[in-house]
Amino acid sequence: MLVLVAPGQGAQTPGFLTPWLDLPGATDRVAAWSDAIGLDLTHYGTEADAEAIRDTAVAQPLLVAASLLSAAALDASPDIVAGHSVGEITAAALADVIGDEAALRLVRTRGLAMADAAAVTETGMAALLGGDPEVTVAHLEKLGLTPANVNGGGQIVAAGTVAQITALTEDMPEGVRRVVPLKVAGAFHTHHMAPAVDQLRDAAVELKIADPAVTYVSNADGQPVALGDEVISRLIGQVANPVRWDLCMETFKKMGVTALIEVCPGGTLTGLAKRALPGVQTLALKTPDDLDAARALLIEHAGA
């Protein structure tokens, strides 16, 4: 049994889209998406520097575009799909809940709305290395911080105001070795993002929604979701609520997943899977050179 997963914000690097544009039809597809959302995805994916693609309004549509492009090249028929944070929009498109262009329009709205919300208060996020998850979560809540990403494998990302993040670096939870501030524009997946939820909900009214064609696993609680309307409702609400990737991986294990492929720009989620899902074969799509190995994995594991 094979799961296809899509990474979230932070996975992008300068020029990562470049090799994918050499594939047949890729340049035209990305150009059409760029026109549809009013953002030059080709420029940002090939020429822009790290600071430019860190911008939430740019990073999110760029990630979804790259993930969809690589998935199309793979031509996968997975048993399960899931995405981390903004990757949930990619997963919704991979499951045929919404179309590719609709996904790009929705993520463009998401990125702009979250950037606006982040500008209201100076906020940030930090990764905690080491420690017991229960002890860490309790300590974060004491400091007024949100465990915004509970990623499994001992990885938790805290989010809150800059003052709260600073307090965390001076008062770390027991067992935590290090607190690493992240280069993100705000406290994603917290109440600070509440204004973005309303904007996304308004945008979703225009969507043509279908029920998932394959099993879709949600970040909210790691559970499969069978109805398209619920998929969209959950990924909208997720903007202001924690990502429970740990629970997603527990579901993969319970469902008997034997292989995991992470679409471009792969690496982050395969790294988490290697720690949390021992025995599961993993593969990250970084460039088109990885496609043959990914197809071989699909043939061996999908539908098994």
Catalytic residues: 85, 189
Distance CA 304, CA 302 (A): 5
What order of strands is seen across the sheet that includes strand 259-262?
A: 224-225, 215-217, 80-83, 2-6, 259-262, 281-284
Alpha-helical (H) ranges within 75-193 are 87-94, 100-118, 133-142, 162-170
Query: Concatenated DSSP letters for 22-51?
Result: GSTTHHHHHHHHHHHHT--HHHHHHT--HH
Output phi, psi for 248, to 5 deg.
-60, -45
Distance CA 80, CA 256 (A): 11
Angle, in degrees to the nearest 10, between helices 56-74 and 87-94: 30
CA-wise closest residue to 176 among 145, 142, 125, 132: 132
Distance CA 284, CA 279 (A): 16
Judge whether 97 and 212 are in contact, CB under 8 Å: yes
Residue 278 three-state SS: coil
